[in-house]
Structure 1
């Protein structure tokens, strides 16, 4: 085999690659923030004393965690218009990523909450705090710290999974690579390039989350 790499052939597509990178970052940022918020709400709902809320949260978590992400994406983009809910490709992709991260992070956060000693709840009640105040100020901070590495990994998995939204024509990195290789016939170079970009994004995300950990937790070594 005597294959000569030709990355220069991708230079004309550099603006498209930069636009695709921007879209991937936007999708990741939005899905991470809203997905973790949704996951926190569902984790609390999962252990709620309200049976109706608990049932809804459990059902949502089980459905999302036991179906493929691409099926969820197609259902939102192709299925919902049948009942009058038509979304753009970008909207459908971001919603699918948010919903997916929400379900997985909910179980991670729930595990952190349930690992908290029951004495913490009792201490909060002794201080006269409401259940909401106990959750916000006593239970959730150490629970987040306990499961933080798992949450970081899950957020990175969702970022990498953003490549799937190219299937509904969201112009992110993988879509751009498909576009570039179909016109330049430089498939090896195009896909190697975005593989390296995804790798760098993963490393960058870990560094950002490590920085957040240093600022957010009193004892980041835990």
Structure 2
């Protein structure tokens, strides 16, 4: 039996594909920004002198990194509902993705912090820089520069992982594909198109991070290696 492909029947739904792709990027954007903030704070917390703060951050990182994203999404979705909080699927998806990527970001940032030579910090202290100046100029910014390629890869993986948000009816790209293939009965063609769109979204994000790296890291810009 020969395979009969009918892409036009699927491509005529292009507005739905574009809307799904846009929502996927929107999910990735908010989760990336919030997750980067939470992850950085968790990385700082793991190095805290307070055993309580360091322990809480460690528990958060290990709990998230050792459970599936889909389970985390269900926990947030049904957990908030059981507390009487009726939030949209988009809001729940952003919250779950943020919690997830925050844990991975924390470990990446912790590696960046540990890569900063102790001598640089001591030299900054010798110059009478404030604690805030030391953390910002000597620790945080150089640490981000060192781990920037790993961070960008993690955020692109986050965008791809957002496909599981279709399980809570978030109208992202995979959810749209599920609706289209159920209407057209053209599952193979639908998911080929979706796979191509995910490749394009990944390339768009990597290009965006490349440009951001050019702005944030002048030294890397001179070397031609913003990523």
Question: TM-score, normalized by length of structure 2?
Answer: 0.93
SS at match of 1:219: helix
Q: 1: distance between equivalents of 2:157 and 2:65?
A: 14
Any conservation in 2 of the 1:77–1:86 contact (CA below 8 Å)?
no
Matched, 1:10 2:10: yes
Cα offset, 1:67, TM superposition:
0.6
**Alignment partner, residue 134 of structure 1:** 134
- Counting only pairs closer than 5 Å after superposition, residues 1-222 of structure 1 correspond to structure 2 as 1-220=1-220, 221=223
The Cα of 1:68 is off from its aligned counterpart by 0.5
Residue 150 (structure 1) shift? 0.6
Rounded Cα–Cα distance in structure 1 between residues aligned with 2:14 and 2:205: 23
Q: CA RMSD in A?
A: 1.3
Please, which runs of 5 or more residues in structure 1 have no aligned partner? Answer: none
- Point out where structure 2 has 5 or more consecutive residues left out of the alignment: none
Distance 1:39 1:209 in 2: 18
* C-alpha distance after superposition, 1:106-147 (max 9, x if no partner): 100110111110011111211222333211111111111111
Looking at structure 1, the residues matched to 20 and 173 of structure 2 have their Cα atoms a distance apart, in angstroms, of 4
How far apart, CA to CA, are the structure 2 residues paired with 1:185 and 1:171?
A: 19
Do the aligned partners of 1:43 and 1:110 also contact (CA within 8 Å) in 2?
yes
User: Following the alignment from structure 1 to structure 2, what is the Cα–Cα distance between the partners of residues 31 and 92?
Assistant: 11
CA distance in 1, matches of 2:5, 2:46: 52
Shift of 1:50: 2.3
What is the count of residue pairs matched by the alignment? 222
Bigger CA drift: 209-218 or 82-91? Answer: 82-91
Give the deviation of 1:197 after TM superposition.
0.5
CA contact (8 A) 1:89 1:169 kept: yes
Deviations 1:83-126 (A, max 9, x none): 33332211110111111111101100110111110011111211
How far apart, in 1, do the equivalents of 2:120 and 2:59 lie? 28
